[in-house]
Amino acid sequence: MIEIEVKNLYKIYNENRQNEFTALKNINLQIKSGEIVVIKGKSGSGKSTLLSILGGISKPTKGDVIIENENIAKLPDIYISNFRNEKIGFIFQSFNLINGLTTYDNVKAPLVLKKLKKQEFETKIKKALQIANIQHKSDQNVENLSGGEKQRCAIARALVMNPSIILADEPTANLDKHNSLIFIDMLKKLKKLNKTVIVATHDSLFEHLEFVNRYININDAEIIT
């Protein structure tokens, strides 16, 4: 089943101005449910911009982004925010954790606006912490975690809503090789959970991974075939 479809996508900054810049040009893409897809490209190639649009964080200048039969490029901001919260989990390069809060509270953050019973909160958080193998650090403030532990906290937070899609933008950029390999092992676990995962990276550790379904190369704002 096609879960994500991108049609004739463009992202142009400062359109019709002297400093106009095309970040994405005529992107066409289909991703099936449960696929692990790695988007490769050098810094500035457009891969992070594409991930941002797929996640509804930014809107395309033109084109369609259809996720689970919903064209999110056409959704008003309030609806895209709800859609993103329920359907998409993000793993950022800089982790984007909330300092001063524990691992547990950071993972709980996406659930705050949900009207859930206490037991439902506990069950969802516990499951996400276990999948990410960070439950033993649940009571620690995140600023006291190592880089690898912060990454696993970020993964747990991305999973707590049980989204069907996980987007990871340069997830190993701030990790050493050991923790980068741990993250790659985590991708195998996500594949077994039938998550659709899209990773944007220029890290050579992601090359030739047998469990990755497809590699997509972006260069100068275009997909290279």
Q: Is the pLDDT of residue 117 over 90?
A: no
Name the band, by pLDDT with cuts 50, 70 and 90, for residue 82. Answer: confident
pLDDT confidence of residue 68 = 92
Extract the tokens encoding 165.
């899609």
pLDDT confidence of residue 144 = 96
Task: Kindly report the CATH number that applies to the domain delimited by 35-61+74-224.
Answer: 3.40.50.300
pLDDT confidence of residue 209 = 95
57-73 mean pLDDT: 95
Side-chain-facing half-sphere of 153: CA atoms under 13 Å: 30
pLDDT confidence of residue 85 = 87
Extract the tokens encoding 34.
């449960």
Extract the tokens encoding 26.
């005529």
pLDDT confidence of residue 112 = 83
How many of the other CB atoms lie within 10 Å of CB of 91?
22
pLDDT confidence of residue 223 = 96
Q: Answer positive or negative: Cα dihedral of 96, 35, 30, 223.
A: positive
Q: Which residue has the higher pLDDT, 116 or 135?
A: 135
The pLDDT mean for the chain works out to: 94
C-alpha–C-alpha distance, residues 104 and 101, integer Å: 8
Task: Determine the distance from the C-alpha atom of residue 83 to the mean position of all C-alpha atoms in its chain, rounded to a whole number.
Answer: 14
Q: Is the pLDDT of residue 118 over 90?
A: no
Which residues pair with residue 90 across a beta bridge? 167
Q: Is the pLDDT of residue 113 over 90?
A: no
Among 184, 126, 123, residue whose Cα is nearest residue 151? 184
Extract the tokens encoding 37.
């897809």
Residues 12-46: pLDDT tens digits?
A: 999 888 899 999 999 999 999 999 999 999 988 99
**% of the chain surpassing 90 pLDDT:** 83
Residue with tokens 């925010």: 81
Q: Is the pLDDT of residue 103 over 90?
A: yes
How many of the other CB atoms lie within 10 Å of CB of 115?
6
What residue ranges do the domains of the chain occupy?
A: 35-61+74-224
Residues 143-202: pLDDT tens digits?
A: 999 999 999 999 999 999 999 999 999 999 999 999 999 999 999 999 999 999 999 999
